[in-house]
């Protein structure tokens, strides 16, 4: 059995990142619907099979975050986790049960799923998972976020992480500050810093080992509706400054979510963040749509399109591998395409 330390080392291998393929039924259903694909169990299985059997996936992808349905499905007579292991890719699992309204705090959310989590983590480990992920969402608004909402989500993230470490799984702690809104880059930096400090305060109080967890966070970005959109270098500078001020050096790695950015934007910004080097943590990616978007569109629900879809996934994975090394450029898109 692998240790949590060896799992972290493998997940943070140079030039590699994570593929987030843990979309819930409503999320993948919406994306399929946009392409005219029926969201049946078999179509979801076939889609994930296409992703996980991409030739050479393990060259650029170190781990995949699975959904509860997926970790129980098979490719032929092989389980999904075993199929990933054949590619030298580590299986992980999303364990939160989604967000609901936070009572008493209009416009803010709390994540559910702590009830029965100890037993679920034990089962997931038996099914092949070696790490887990839990997502909290924080909205920026005129009076948001409130300190109460930040602290409530931080406490839940800390309890989840503690249970993961008890079960021998690496916890990925994901407090996502949403891009929605017209907030400025500076406001996003302020909120992201406050959220991260709240999360690490809770983690330490809960006695979570910082050395055996990973942080998944968003880049510091202008809100989607902000009239003044920050450039690539501004985003990188604000993001690194925020992380230096808020994330303890004991944390081994930070994996960025794409959070609604286009695939190329997510790669360009990741490259600018990684280029300077010299950070106390390993920085890489844990992208969902920014890795899968082109592949899903190419696949379009047809077995005849599997090769084209896998080529699209290879392309984006290679580009993000270069970005993690600070070696990505516009020419990389052409060379890898």
Tokens at residue 241, please? 């400054």
Nearest to 67 by CA among 87, 86, 52: 52
In angstroms, how far is CA 287 from the centroid of its own chain?
5
Whether residue 174 lies in the annotated active site: yes
Q: How far is CA 9 from CA 6, 90, 106, 130, 158, in A?
A: 5, 11, 41, 12, 22
Nearest to 176 by CA among 104, 261, 93: 261
Tokens at residue 238, please? 């604000």
Distance CA 173, CA 254 (A): 10
Nearest to 220 by CA among 204, 197, 236, 206: 236
Distance CA 295, CA 39 (A): 16
Per the residue annotation, which of 49, 216, 268, 333 is the catalytic one? 216
Per the residue annotation, which of 23, 108, 174, 176 is the catalytic one? 174
Question: 54 with 310: CB under 8 angstroms?
Answer: yes
Question: 201 with 155: CB under 8 angstroms?
Answer: no
Nearest to 189 by CA among 156, 157, 223: 223
In the DSSP assignment, the letter for residue 230 is P
Distance CA 336, CA 332 (A): 6
Question: Which positions are annotated as active-site residues?
Answer: 174, 216
């Amino acid at each position: 059995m692998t240790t949590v330390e060896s799992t972290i080392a493998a997940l943070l291998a140079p030039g590699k990142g994570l593929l987030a393929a843990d979309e819930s039924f409503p999320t993948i259903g919406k994306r399929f619907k946009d392409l005219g694909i029926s969201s049946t169990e078999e179509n979801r299985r076939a889609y994930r099979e296409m992703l996980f059997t991409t030739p050479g996936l393990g060259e650029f992808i170190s781990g995949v975050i699975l959904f509860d349905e997926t970790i129980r499905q098979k490719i032929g007579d092989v389980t999904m986790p075993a199929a990933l292991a054949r590619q030298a890719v580590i299986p992980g699992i999303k364990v939160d049960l989604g967000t609901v309204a936070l009572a008493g705090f209009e416009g803010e959310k709390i994540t559910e799923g702590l009830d029965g989590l100890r037993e679920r983590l034990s089962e997931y480990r038996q099914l092949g998972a070696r790490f887990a992920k839990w997502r909290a969402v924080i909205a920026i608004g005129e009076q948001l976020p409130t300190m109460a909402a930040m602290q409530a989500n931080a406490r839940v993230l800390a309890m989840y992480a503690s249970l993961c470490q008890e079960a021998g799984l690496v916890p990925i702690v994901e407090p996502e500050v949403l891009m929605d809104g017209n907030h400025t880059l500076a406001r996003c930096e302020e909120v992201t810093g406050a959220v991260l400090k709240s999360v690490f305060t809770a983690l330490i109080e809960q006695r979570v080992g910082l050395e055996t967890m990973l942080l998944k966070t968003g880049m510091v970005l202008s809100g989607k509706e902000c009239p003044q959109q920050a450039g690539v270098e501004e985003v990188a500078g604000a993001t690194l400054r925020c992380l230096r001020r808020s994330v303890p050096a004991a944390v081994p790695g930070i994996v960025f979510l794409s959070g609604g950015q286009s695939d190329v934007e997510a790669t360009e910004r990741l490259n600018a963040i990684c280029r300077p080097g010299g950070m106390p943590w390993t920085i890489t990616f844990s992208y969902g749509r920014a890795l899968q978007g082109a592949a899903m569109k190419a696949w379009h629900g047809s077995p005849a399109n599997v090769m084209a879809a896998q080529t699209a996934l290879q392309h984006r994975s290679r580009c993000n591998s270069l970005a993690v090394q600070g070696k990505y450029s516009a020419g990389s898109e052409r060379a890898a395409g």
